[in-house]
Amino acid sequence: MARSRDGKGREVRLPLSDIAAASLANLGMLAEATLGEGDRPRVGNDIFGAFGRDFTTADGVRIMLVAITPRQWSGIQPLLGIVEAVQALEAELGVDFARDEGLRFTHRDRLVPIFDAAMARRKLADLIPAFEQLGVCWGPYQTLSQAANDPRLFAGNPVFSTLTHPSGETYPAAGFAGTVPQDARQPARPAARLGQHTDEVLSTVLGLSSAQIGKLHDDGVVAGPEGR
């Protein structure tokens, strides 16, 4: 649990369990379970409640592609040359994908093969200008190892600092996710080693003298990071 104080000196608590519970509720998953609709199933890389997932272009580039707004949905079909195929599927199912984005998610197993085949025929360089013009949400699909070098996410993100941790390994560590524009961000710090602040706490919190602290060490009551 994280604890802090606001500008008025009031304690602010931020348990990770509360963050997790609030996230589930904000995603609508709690309401579904409470109203008797059951637990939400696994959907892989599909975007829940809309149309979007990963596709591979003709030049072997894997991207995430999302069509949520009516403009995105109507514009991407002629771009990929799939208008007739989508219309035929709508007629077969008796639905209108343009009017209800939820139906695109419900019938994604039928829609995805149409998009898969179309994307496999087009190179990404040819699609990017049209994607940008249509305002289509898309981006390169990255593994976490690949994303680690993405300056927008990790490599150049001021939230992260490269630290040498107590394990001896050096890797990026996250600081506070929030940003206060008027305040300078402080770099992240490595986790404290066991006993690292023992003497500091005994001195500043309990007011013990160096002689008293030394005796506690000698008697084996306390130990510093070296276990002395």
7 confidence band (pLDDT: 50, 70, 90): low
Do 67 and 135 fall within a single domain?
yes
Spatial strand order of the sheet with 137-140 comes to 51-56, 62-67, 137-140
Bridge-partner residues for 53, per DSSP?
65
Closest CA to 159 of 184, 185, 181, 182: 185
Residue 190 maps to a domain: no
> What does the pLDDT read at residue 103?
95
Do 61 and 124 fall within a single domain?
yes
Sequence-distant (6+) residues with CB within 8 A of 80 are 115, 118, 119, 122
Average pLDDT, the chain: 86
Do 125 and 59 fall within a single domain?
yes
Do 20 and 60 fall within a single domain?
no
Q: Report the distance separating Cα 104 and Cα 98, nearest Å.
A: 9
pLDDT of 51 above 50: yes
Rounded average pLDDT over 91-98: 96
Residue 102 maps to a domain: yes
> What does the pLDDT read at residue 18?
80
The Cα-based distances of 220 to 35, 50, 206, 217, 228 in angstroms read: 58, 62, 18, 5, 8
Per-residue b/e over 6-29, b at no fewer than 16 CB within 10 Å?
eeeeeeeeeeeeeeeeeeeeeeee
pLDDT of 195 above 50: yes
Do 82 and 27 fall within a single domain?
no
Instruction: Work out how many domains the chain is built from and give that number.
Output: 3
Do 61 and 137 fall within a single domain?
yes
Do 214 and 133 fall within a single domain?
no
Residue 149 maps to a domain: no
Residue 167 maps to a domain: no
Do 110 and 75 fall within a single domain?
yes
Do 87 and 122 fall within a single domain?
yes
Residue 146 maps to a domain: no
Per-residue b/e over 54-75, b at no fewer than 16 CB within 10 Å?
ebebeeeeebbbbbbeeebbeb
Residue 44 maps to a domain: no
> What does the pLDDT read at residue 228?
47
Residue 178 maps to a domain: no
pLDDT of 6 above 70: no
Q: Which domain holds residue 210?
A: 195-223
pLDDT of 227 above 60: no
Predicted TM-score (pTM) of this structure:
0.63
Residue 67 maps to a domain: yes
